[in-house]
Structure 1
Amino acid sequence: MPPLQSLQRDFPSIDANFLQFCASHRIFSVEDFLVHDLQRLVAFAECQDMSKDLKKGIAEVLSIIDSQHQPLSNGMELLGDTRREKILFSTGCEGIDLLLQGGLRGGQLTELVGPSPSGKTQVCLQAASHIAHKYMGTVMFLDTSNSFSPKRVAYLVSRLLSPSVKEVKERTIKRVMSNIFCYSVFDIFMLLDVLHQLEFKLRSQVQIKNEDTNLHLLVVDSFSSLITAVLGGKGSHGHSLMVSAGFLLKKLADEHNLAVLVTNHMVGGEGGISKPALGESWKTVPHVRLLLSHDHGSNFCNISILKHTCMVRYLHNLSWLWI
């Protein structure tokens, strides 16, 4: 859920006076609002000169919170959703596509976990270039650590093309590159703001054109680098932001049948054994979790499945040569 200030543009009741009132009670985000004593907040609002407007703002925030919760579904509805046809997007990485029985699944959030360097960004760039070329769809790449390399993407695209006239090859590379949009995101609040803007844009496109959007893949590299900055301490604020961002990513994937790919790093665990960052509360969020490791001696990349919600029986791991 977003910071309150980002709601000001779309909701008239959340104006400068309301934001100032909330700030005086140390409320800066929807998460702060949730953990605050609302009865006390309303009582304080009634003591103000603009009590009617302030209570209207409080009601507006509560309605926004309610809209974020998905309606309850019965068993038949859930079964129907699992049977609904989902697009499979080949990543261009043979090992990953084989392990996932075709590639990244539309409507799902897939997480790549691994130490640095294990090939997480390489997989993201490979998937972005392959999907933009093969499916002629749009890719949105949210870069949190300057990992996006246009030269690398252009090289990966050129490898997908058969030998052809130089002008034709350059024109194809230009078309594919123009379908990949990269945005620099440096904190969790900026990420939430970008995702909410994207949600509004996609929803508007569907309502106006009455058809699916052309966005096929959304990449966040690295998701964990944004979250670790707000985790820690005794409060639950950081975990609330993390779960809210995860929920929004899954919501975008489900409503618009696009694949979401995020990366996560490793941290030290008990007995010096490495484990995925972000803790127990995060590991239930992704539909699929893949663990990557890189054998630098042989240049082989190893991949194993940590979690998969759709595959009852599957290959546990694979290796392939990284070029």
Structure 2
Amino acid sequence: MRPPAPKPRAAAASSSSGQHEFRPENPLLLLPSVRASKFSLGCPVLDRLLSGGLPAGSITEIAGESASGKTQLCLQLALIAPQCLLSGSSLFLYSDLPFPLRSLRRLAPKSHPDILDHVLVAAAHSPADLLTLLSRAQSVLAHPDRSRHRLPIRLILLDSIASLFRADFDASPADLKRRSALFFQIAAKLKELAYRHQCVVVVTNQVVDVVEGDAGNTVAWSSGRRVSPALGIAWANCVNTRLFLTRELDAAGGSARRRMKVAFAPHLPERSCEFAIRRDGVFGVESAER
């Protein structure tokens, strides 16, 4: 006789409190796929670059120099959230003060004055603040029915991760180790929220000048400078998808041509497209070759 087949292991183990611990059976399930729900950027050109939009269930980083369009794009995403297929509210966590409320109101469609009710805003002043806010968000995400007048949260925005680590850390081995540990804590919590609740998580990052070498991190030319996303390779390993916003200045030093590049993603090839920042939002520019 054949021995009985072993019973499959449960995907999650029960804790002593009776709650289920987040423990996916297959770590590859954390990676976005072409079948994952996608969040539109509000522009068909940019959506085409990303094969439909930003994937749910993972972390997308938007890196770029100051005034490259990172915050503008986040504000645009927050206002799209109630109108897209995922139809939800957004949680906008910001560390760059002050919050650009005037820009958010300017971008809001006049035909939907109540759309701002679906944008939740909170300030994070330190990594500890951020972890506390994410723990509170977990409770809100787990009980979406408690708010009768607001859609469930489907988008989490953090602008920006680099600002949280400007102070309180130096280049000593002990501080670098402590900083990396916080990266992993923050990323683990964001990935848990994204995967458990099928949210879209977007994190912006600043850039630093690259003098020589790249130490394995992403490097690109922007505004005539060789730059790389801040926080180094330790943080780069915490995100699933990295989008790099760059600028190319013309010879006269006036207007700039902007590009959005897929630096890396498990579901996309490396490619890019031109985009423009207008008063009504961020929009891709059709290639002349099409």
TM-score, normalised by the number of residues in structure 1: 0.66
Quote how far apart the aligned CAs of 1:82 are.
6.0
Specify the code of the residue in structure 2 equivalent to 1:155. Answer: R
C-alpha displacement at 1:300, in angstroms?
Answer: 3.5
| Residues 141 and 152, structure 2, Cα contact 8 Å, conserved in 1 | no
Q: Does structure 1 conserve the Cα–Cα contact (< 8 Å) formed by 2:34 and 2:267?
A: no
1:98 positional shift: 2.0
Q: Which structure features the higher share of helix residues?
A: 1
For residues 4-25 of structure 1, give each alpha carbon's deviation from its aligned partner in whole angstroms, at most 9, with x where no partner exists: xxxxxxxxxxxxxxxxxxxxxx
Instruction: Report the counterpart of residue 283 of structure 2 in structure 1.
Output: none
Give the drift of 1:133: 3.4
Amino acid at match of 1:229: A
Give distance in 1, aligned partners of 2:53 and 2:277: 17
Aligned AA for 1:220? L
Paired with 1:141 and 1:72, the residues of 2 have a C-alpha distance of 27
| Cα displacement (A) at 1:199 | 1.3
TM-score of the two chains, using structure 2 as the length reference = 0.73
The yes-or-no answer on 1:246 pairing with 2:197 is no
After superposition, the C-alpha distances for 1:255-302 in whole angstroms (9 at most, x for unaligned) are: 100101111111122337321111111111111101002346335321
Mapped contact 1:246–1:285 kept (Cα < 8 A):
yes
In the other structure, the counterpart of 2:108 is 157
Once the two structures are superposed, the pairs formed by residues 215-234 of structure 1 within 5 Å of their partners are 215-232=153-170, 233-234=172-173
Aligned with residue 180 of structure 1, among 97, 119, 123: 119
Q: Secondary structure at the match of 1:86?
A: coil
Partner of residue 220, structure 2 = none
Contact 2:31 2:58 in 1 (8 A): no
Offset of residue 85 of structure 1:
4.9
Q: Is residue 111 of structure 1 aligned with residue 61 of structure 2?
A: yes
**Structure 1 residue 73 corresponds to structure 2 residue 73:** no
Verify the 8 A CA contact 1:140 1:182 in the aligned structure 2.
yes
From the superposition, tell whether residues 129 and 102 of structure 1 become closer, same or farther in structure 2 (CA, over 3 Å). same
Q: 1:84-130: CA deviations, max 9, x gaps?
A: 95321111144432211111111111001111121111111111112
Does the CA-based 8 Å contact 1:140-1:217 persist in structure 2?
Answer: yes
AA partner of residue 103 (structure 2): R
Alignment RMSD (CA, Å): 3.0
The match for 2:4 is none
Q: Which one-letter code corresponds to 1:101 in the other structure?
A: S
Deviations, residues 169-197 of structure 1 (Å, cap 9, x unaligned): 2xx12x21000011111111110000011
The 1:290/1:147 distance shift into structure 2, 3 A limit, reads farther
The yes-or-no answer on 1:322 pairing with 2:277 is: yes
Of 88, 101, 104, 2:51 maps to 101
Q: Does 1:202 align with 2:152?
A: no
Q: Structure 2 counterpart of 1:318, which letter?
A: C
Give the corresponding residue for 1:214: 152
Unaligned residue ranges in structure 1 (runs of 5+) = 1-62, 162-168
1:275 aligned counterpart, secondary structure: strand
Q: Give the SS at the match of 1:270.
A: coil
Structure-1 separation of matches of 2:91 and 2:208 = 28
Larger mean CA deviation between 126-135 and 215-224 belongs to: 126-135
Between the aligned partners of 2:231 and 2:31, the Cα distance in structure 1 is 29
Letter in 2 for 1:268: D
**Where is the strand percentage greater, Structure 1 or Structure 2?**
2
Aligned position for 1:22? none
Segments of 5+ residues of structure 2 without an aligned counterpart are: 1-14, 213-224, 279-290
Matching residue's letter, 2:160: S
Contact 1:267 1:277 in 2 (8 A): yes
Counterpart check, 1:305 vs 2:262: yes
Matched with 1:237 is 178
Deviation, structure 1 residue 245: 0.4
Find the structure with the greater CA-based Rg: 1
Which amino acid counterpart does residue 225 of structure 1 have in structure 2? S
**Gap change, CA 1:243 and 1:231, over 3 Å in 2:** farther
Cα distance between partner residues in 2 of 1:178 and 1:265: 29
